[in-house]
């Protein structure tokens, strides 16, 4: 009897999965942020690389989950470059290797009626980000160092979706960032310093960071 139950679960579980609404989406991103340095206010507007996202919702409910590969990259700079240290006003020669990854997880609640051309949603998201950087100087007067940065952003996403057809739709949304935090750990390899002196840590947080992202995506229902 137990074997029959297991077989039935294995047979019907794929049907259960594909009875849900799933889609794949390609986003274009526009970012705008401001920051202050040396009593001067700076502004930046940028268009980043397209990102890919996957959505999932239950068949009886238009609320949906979204997982977006927000950022990923590996940089290996094997050429000698000039790095400027703003704290000591010195220049040093070296190479930099870095890795980064960021995933955005979001739950969206339907605000309008079902089965309409236009649908409005309100989502809540968490956006974790990790980056690892290794600096390798080519001059003996400097020392190798590593930096690990973990960043998290929490916020809300109002969005409008327009169904072009049964399979394709357009998604326009705005990321309203409410809180962000940074955890960083820097380690240098200076033999003249102790282990504790070579390591520095920093924790910081910001409510309502001055960073804004507008996204437009084309989705394909699977």
**Radius of gyration (Cα) for the chain, nearest Å?**
23
Furthest-apart CA atoms within the chain: distance in Å: 76
| pLDDT value of residue 129 | 95
Residues forming beta bridges with residue 118, ordered by sequence position: 162
* Domains of the chain by start residue, with CATH: 20-221 (2.40.160.20)
Tokens of 116: 């309409």
**Residue 115 main-chain phi, psi, to 5 deg:** 60, 45
pLDDT (0 to 100) of residue 5: 45
Which letter, b or e, does each residue of 154-164 get, where b requires 16 or more Cβ atoms within 10 Å of its Cβ?
Answer: ebebebebebe
Three-class secondary structure of residue 18 per DSSP: helix
pLDDT given for residue 86 in this prediction: 52
β-bridge pairing 40-57 and 211-221: unpaired
Q: How many CB atoms lie within 10 A of CB 143?
A: 17
pLDDT mean by block of 10 residues, the chain; 222 residues: 45 42 92 67 80 86 91 71 52 76 95 84 96 83 88 96 93 95 92 90 93 93 90
CB contact at 8 A, 180 and 153: yes
């Amino acid at each position: 009897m137990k074997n029959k139950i297991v077989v039935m679960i294995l047979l019907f579980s794929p049907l259960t999965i594909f009875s849900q609404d799933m889609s794949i989406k390609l986003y274009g991103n526009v970012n705008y942020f401001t920051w202050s340095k040396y009593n001067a206010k700076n502004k930046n507007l940028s268009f980043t690389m397209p990102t890919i996202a996957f959505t999932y919702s239950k068949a009886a409910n238009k609320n949906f989950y979204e997982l977006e590969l927000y950022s990923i990259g590996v940089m290996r700079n094997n050429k000698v470059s000039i790095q400027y240290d703003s704290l000591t006003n010195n220049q040093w020669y070296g190479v930099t290797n870095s890795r980064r990854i960021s995933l955005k997880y979001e739950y969206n609640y339907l605000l309008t009626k079902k089965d309409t051309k236009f649908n409005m949603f309100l989502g809540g998201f968490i956006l974790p980000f990790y980056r690892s950087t290794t600096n390798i100087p080519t001059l003996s007067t400097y020392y190798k160092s590593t930096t690990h940065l973990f960043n998290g952003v929490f916020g809300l996403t109002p969005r409008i979706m327009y169904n072009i057809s049964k399979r394709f739709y357009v998604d326009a949304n705005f990321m309203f960032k409410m809180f962000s935090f940074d955890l960083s750990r820097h380690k240098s390899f200076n033999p003249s310093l102790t282990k504790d002196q070579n390591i520095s840590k920093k924790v910081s947080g910001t409510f309502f960071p001055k960073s804004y992202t507008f996204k437009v995506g084309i989705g394909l229902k699977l």
